[in-house]
Amino acid sequence: MPKLPKFKNVTVPYEEALMSLPEYVKEAKVLYYPLSAVKYKRHESYDGGTYWVAENVKIPKDAKIYMDVIIGPDVELSKGIEIGKESRIGAGSIIGSGTVIGKRVHIGENCTIGEDVNIGNGVWIDNQVTIEEGSTIGEGSSISSNATVKGELKKRSRVFEYENYNNSTKRSEQNYNLDLTRLKRK
């Protein structure tokens, strides 16, 4: 494979940026999304790689952000957070203090993640989702837009649009994928 030249600035299609970043992009100093006119800067990650942050986002000093993460514009990050490898945080989202986000997690735009939330690996959170303080989202779960989650979601759980999931009361331990009656409407 031929050696690619080092770039100072690189323009990357949005779809490509959602996937793992190619090697030539990791070498760049600045990343642009052409349709959104948002400028991203490269930072050194907690594990020695790089991650990308929109210009107007402030990163707390004690944040642990791993390689290939992309953080969109107007995102608010609180103290003591951890963001796993290859995760994406959409524009306008708020991440509360003490929150741990696993590997390859997608958090959509304008989401609110409360304090001390644990999000497992491979979770998909759509736009405008609220996850209440102290909640746990199991590995491989999906949460559709406009949903609110409080409590614990087990592995590969699904919460659908406009549904309000709250497991603060004890119920039978059935698989969330099969028992949709456990999900309440707002």
Is-contact 97 81, C-beta < 8 A?
yes
Q: 3-state SS of 83-98?
A: ECCCCEECCCCEECCC
Whole-number Å distance between alpha carbons of 23 and 4: 9
Q: Which domains, from first to last, does the chain contain? A: 9-162 (2.160.10.10)
Q: What is the pLDDT of residues 108-151, one digit of tens each?
A: 999 999 999 999 999 999 999 999 999 999 999 999 998 989 99
Whole-number Å distance between alpha carbons of 130 and 76: 14
Is-contact 144 157, C-beta < 8 A?
no
Say whether pLDDT at 76 is over 60: yes
pLDDT of residue 183: 46
Mean pLDDT over each residue of the chain, to the nearest integer: 78
**Sequential DSSP letters for 137-157:** E-TT-EE-TT-EEESEE-TT-
**Reported pTM:** 0.72
Whole-number Å distance between alpha carbons of 1 and 19: 21
